[in-house]
Structure 1
Amino acid sequence: MESNTEANFSTLHRREVFYVGGEYVPDDAGNHTRQGQMYVERLIPAESDSSPSRPFPIIFIHGATRSGADWLTKPDGQPGWASYFLSQGFECYLVDLPFCGRSPWHPSNGAMLAHPAEAIQTMFTASRDLGTWPQAKLHTQWPSTGRIGDPIFDQFFASAQPILSDPVAREKASQKACAALLDRIGKPAILIGHSAGSSMLWLVADVRPAAVKMIVALEPTGPPFYKVGIASGSSAPYGIANAPLTYAPPVADPDADFTRVLVPAPGPGMMDCMGQAEGEGEMRPRQLVNLTHARVLVVTAQASYHAQYDWGTVRYLRQAGVGRVEHWRLEERGVCGNGHMMFMERNSDAVAAEVVRWIEKDQAVEAVV
């Protein structure tokens, strides 16, 4: 047994490590390498009266340049979300997506890229001082100066990972590996994904709809058809993903098949976002037919650059027929001052508690229905 302790909880658990997915790839000499496999860390809580077991495990999916280690220990040394959710009785699966962290990369997979520390401190950790979006000055929850040379920032940046530069190849490999993980688990699971990792939420639910019980998207990549962030620019040709998703009518050529329109921002401090045109017949928005029964929570932090445009992602999901989509702005729930890395910040347990309440509420609604 291993123990994780914080001021208000202590969790005993068992740990298992394994790999899923991947395939053997031959080289010119007829030798083979294994490529596309994914590292998984499974944490199983010990049963007790104070932490009752939950019916559905949680799969945690990290963002770009990150790894599954993000959920274990925060950069300030405090226990991360894995400890919190274990204390609430959830079995947890932490993944390193293919080609990242402990999931091997092979030179034939393609070039890798990394982001500089200056961009990271501006967008994630020191945005109160360096950020240029309207909400940036509200960022108070990062546990240090968030700048190069600060021990907590240095610890955070030391854990950054290079990522495959081809987003389509990256998403396709991650989709296959996460689907293989669901197959191995053998029962429905809850998916929690952060930032660029959120693309996997939609892609995995698309190929394993019956195995995805709920989806929690922590500031998913967006807005639709575009990417704002460290590497801003044209992105997500399938609306909310770079890799293909199943739409009805089918999408063969995203540039030709989607009729896109610019939707005005609904309020100050927000951005205009792209969406699908509304109309009849061929002008009706294409539907994500494998996500029609999905239950989705999108979480937006008060001070993040996502506060400008997550509304557009939520609108797109609803417009595309995704089942039940809720959007929580954390400040409206009394959780204030957070940036994009909300699950690593001082009040990360308060954010986690809100997510647990949503899961419990959703299960209660399902039981009544």
Structure 2
Amino acid sequence: MYRNGLIVLWAATLAGTHTVNGTPHVRDIFFVGGEYIETDNGDHVRQGQMYVEHLRPTDSTIQAYPIIFIHGATRTGIDWLTKPDGQPGWADYFLARGYECYLVDLPYQGRSPSPPTPPQDLRYFSTEVAAQRFTAPEDFGLWTQAALHTRWPGAGHMGDPVFDQFFSSGNYLIDNVTFQQTTARATVSALVDRIGRPVVLLAHSNGGAVLWLAADARPGLVKALVAIEPLGPPFRADFPAVADARPYGLTDIPIAYDPPVADPAADLVKDLHVSNSTDLANCTLQAEPARKLANLTDLPVLVVTGQASYHARYDWCSVEFLKQAGVDAEHLQLEAANITGNGHFVFMETNSDSIASQIAKWLAKIF
């Protein structure tokens, strides 16, 4: 609700329900993308549209480039508004620094709930998986760096009030990565078109594929990319199991290369780089001479990785892949900036403002 020009955010925490005053702004909501389809009985419904929440600060100079926030798998744009412990999220942080913020619920998730045609299988994370990978990895030791995790607010397990808030905000995900990426590319591109001026794209985890695809689709309208532990590593899955994946490198659907790629299995020749540490994953890059990502060449990219996340094993490889493909990629390993103890959901953890500050400094540097 609005009160005295400030948004009042309500959240359940260890101390009970309380309020947090956010940065003054105006808010509007709209949908982009989608299409009407005819049902079996001759009626029409709409599917594939995307919910967008636009926040514009009122008490500061507006930055030149708005930020589009793209959530990860089973998540929604709510992730950026309020952290599970009730503290303000990254949307408020960047609003306070003059950035317009666009928060999306990708198609078929959250407030973009139309049923897909044809019907698709759904998947979700259980409370056990969420604790193992995201909120309490230090209790399971599934990767070496997990022991360093200290920044989740609360115990990180079912029954803890902060965990319960986090888990309650999740939803099901369509279990078809090509369908996900195709629909998300179309709707995020439609949002960029509607904004009509250059933007920054900021994405987390599974949203990382959307980051590359939307920038590829709208190269003249994307000024920079911020990838928070993006989907990776290239060409293969590393965790929870090693398997072939992402035939186009960091995406499962086509992205423009120079020279062009007709058949990724044949045209993208791979070269395995064996890690010199058991703490780091092996890395599959292109064999030289490497093709370039035609519409991402020289685009500024910041990849952010938490010290204790499973991404600490392999985000270095995603960065090397981007650099090899001509992208102006920089890797912010948080411990190198004396920001320690973070897992996969860095923007929900107790030191999230310190991480946002590093991103804001990078944006100021490149612009």
- Interval of TM-score (by shorter of Structure 1 and Structure 2): over 0.9
Cα distance per residue 1:19-67 (max 9 Å; x no partner): 000111223343221111000000010133xxx3211100000000110
1:123–1:229: 8 Å Cα contact kept in structure 2? Answer: no
Q: Which amino acid aligns with 1:121?
A: A
Q: Which amino acid aligns with 1:340?
A: H
For 2:191, the aligned partner's letter is L
Moved more, 228-237 or 244-253: 228-237
Change (3 A) 1:67 1:232: farther
Deviation at residue 215 of structure 1 after TM alignment: 0.3
Percent identical: 50
Length, aligned pairs only: 354
Corresponding residue for 1:277?
287
CA contact (8 A) 2:6 2:21 kept: no
User: How far does residue 256 in structure 1 lie from its aligned partner after superposition?
Assistant: 2.0
- Report whether the alignment pairs 1:149 with 2:154: no
Distance 2:229 2:353 in 1: 17
* 1:157-199 alpha-carbon deviations (Å, 9 max, x no partner): 1111111111001100000000000000010001100001010
1:11 matched residue in structure 2 = 23
Choose between structure 1 and 2: higher helix proportion. Answer: 1
Query: How far 1:229 sits from its partner (Å)?
Result: 3.7
In structure 2, distance between residues paired with 1:4 and 1:81: 15
Q: Following TM superposition, by how much is the alpha carbon of 1:149 offset from its aligned partner in structure 2, in angstroms?
A: 1.3
Give the corresponding residue for 1:82. 91
Shift of 1:9: 8.6
- 1:265-305 per-residue CA deviation (whole Å, 9 max, x = no partner) reads 25452111111111xxxxx2121101113110001111101
Q: 1:9 to 1:87 in 2, by over 3 A?
A: farther
- 2:319 aligns with 314
CA contact (8 A) 1:9 1:87 kept: no
Partner residue of 2:14?
Answer: none
**2:301 aligned residue (296, 300, 306):** 296
User: 1:107, 1:188 → 2: CA distance?
Assistant: 31
The 1-side partners of 2:131 and 2:238 are apart by 16
1:212 aligns with 2:222: yes
The one-letter code matched in structure 2 to 1:42 is H
How far does the alpha carbon of each residue in 1:95-120 deviate from its partner, in whole angstroms, 9 at most, with x for none? 00001000023152412111211111
Q: 1: distance between equivalents of 2:242 and 2:160? A: 27
Q: Are 1:67 and 2:79 matched, yes or no?
A: no
How much is the aligned-residue C-alpha RMSD, in angstroms?
A: 1.9
Shift of 1:148: 1.3
Quote the Cα distance in structure 1 between the aligned partners of 2:21 and 2:280.
38
**2:159 is matched by which residue type in structure 1?**
G
Q: Runs of 5+ in structure 1 lacking a partner?
A: 279-283, 364-369
Distance 1:231 1:71, change over 3 A: farther
Q: Distance in 2 between matches of 1:44 and 1:57?
A: 9
- Secondary structure of 1:135's aligned partner: helix
Is the 1:237–1:255 Cα contact (8 Å) retained in structure 2?
Answer: yes
In the alignment, what sits opposite 1:222? Answer: 232
How many angstroms apart in 2 are the aligned matches of 1:4 and 1:319? Answer: 46
Output one character per residue of 1:119-173: Cα deviation in whole Å (capped at 9) or x when no partner. 1100000011113211111000001110111111111111111111110011000
Provide the rounded CA distance (Å) in 2 between the counterparts of 1:265 and 1:105.
44
Separation in structure 2 between the aligned mates of residue 232 and residue 271 of structure 1, nearest angstrom: 10
